[in-house]
Amino acid sequence: GAGVSQSPSNKVTEKGKDVELRCDPISGHTALYWYRQSLGQGLEFLIYFQGNSAPDKSGLPSDRFSAERTGGSVSTLTIQRTQQEDSAVYLCASSLVSGQGNQPQHFGDGTRLSIL
């Protein structure tokens, strides 16, 4: 499809394991964002990529979280040594970049991560 694609849809893993979440943005969108949605915390920004610029990592909650964006397209969010508080829905969004201000972000369906 033409929308933002995230995989897997659901991930269940044991505490302490590493997980990788994937995001394939809309073709032509140079801006890519990761957010986390959890009960009681709402939607929280994690990290932002734009073109070849250094990513904005200001929202990452700890050094166990990292993300890459290869070739300016697909992005992978990695969580190392997962903890139960990492359980949440991880949402990826992409947008165009223009000189006319913040363009709407288009979201994927998310990855529901459950840490046992």
Partner 1 sequence: AQKVTQAQTEISVVEKEDVTLDCVYETRDTTYYLFWYKQPPSGELVFLIRRNSFDEQNEISGRYSWNFQKSTSSFNFTITASQVVDSAVYFCALSERYSGNTPLVFGKGTRLSVIA
Q: C-alpha 77: how far from its chain's center?
A: 6
Residues within window 26-45 making contact with partner 1, judged by CB under 8 A: 31, 33, 35, 42-43, 45
Assess contact for 90 and 113: CB atoms under 8 A.
yes
**Contact, 65 vs 79, CB < 8 A?**
yes
Q: Does residue 114 bind partner 1 (CB under 8 A)? A: no
Contact between 107 and partner 1 (CB under 8 A)?
yes
How many residues make contact with partner 1 (CB under 8 A)? 27
| Alpha-carbon gap, residue 100 to 60, rounded angstroms | 28
Q: Which of 77, 110, 113, 115 binds partner 1 (CB under 8 A)?
A: 110
105 - beta bridge partners?
none
Which stretches of the chain bind partner 1, using CB under 8 A?
A: 31, 33, 35, 42-43, 45, 48, 50, 56, 59, 89, 91, 93, 95, 97, 99-110
